[in-house]
Amino acid sequence: MIPHSAWPVDPGVLLPFLIAVALVELTPGPNMGWLALVSLDRGRAAGFAAVAGITVGLGAWMLAAAFGLTQALIAWPPIYQIIRWAGVLFLLWLAWEAWRGDGDPAEADGVDHHSSLRLFLRGMTGNLLNPKAALFYVALLPTFMRPERGSPLTQALVLGGLHLAVAVAIHALIVAGAAGARGPVLRRMQGRRMRAAMALGIAAVAVWMAWETRL
């Protein structure tokens, strides 16, 4: 058994930290909405490909925060706004792509390697273009770090890794739930109607992101 003094983070903060990040991840937001839409439209495999991309994007922001690279977002607000609006435009582009898409979602159960990679990249890009993720780490991690525990970098990496694990678990549940509801939804909304609903849903997520990421 590892002595408490040897742990990189204070054991007393672990449960409060896990509860805090779980509540954050369970709060409706752009990731939750987009994952549900992708899973309804393309199925479970597509949803998990998107989860992988989202996780990499969050991980990149976590590393940037741990190494102090996100201070530029605070020091120069125009950077924040540029990234923020790029993210909104990216989601609107995805909505347009869904609107003009071809094919029946009912035929999209088999997601090939190319489609999985595309969804992975979209999930990653969408999170890299969400600067609120960076500010989340900047605001939350220091609250649960203790100077007497030694290296702030090590503490930030451990806590950030725990957040990613919680995020993956919750995102996986969202994918499973949405994919499970896919059959009944497709029986009611076939072809073009489903694509239109998908496009409108992503556009709503874009508006949601624009509102949620205001400073």
Crossing angle between the packed helical segments 152-180 and 11-26, to the nearest 10 degrees: 40
Contacts of residue 86, Cβ cutoff 8 Å, sequence gap at least 6: 129
Predicted confidence band at 111 (pLDDT cuts at 50, 70, 90)? low
Distance separating alpha carbons of residues 15 and 195, to the nearest angstrom: 42
* Cα-only R_g, the chain: 19
In this predicted model, what pLDDT tens digit does every residue of 172-197 receive, in sequence order? Answer: 999 999 988 887 766 666 656 777 87
Its pTM stands at 0.86
Domain boundaries, the chain: 30-212
Residue 187, pLDDT score: 63
In this predicted model, what pLDDT tens digit does every residue of 87-102 receive, in sequence order? Answer: 999 999 988 987 886 5
Report the pLDDT averaged over residues 25-29.
87
Distance separating alpha carbons of residues 189 and 194, to the nearest angstrom: 5
Local structure of residue 214 (DSSP, 8 states): -
Predicted confidence band at 2 (pLDDT cuts at 50, 70, 90)? very low
Report the pLDDT averaged over residues 141-164.
90
CA dihedral 66, 121, 136, 206 (to 10 degrees): 160
Residue 190, pLDDT score: 64
Report the pLDDT averaged over residues 117-121.
94
Q: Taking all residues of the chain, what is their mean pLDDT, rounded to a whole number? A: 85
Local structure of residue 147 (DSSP, 8 states): G
More confident residue, 43 or 104: 43
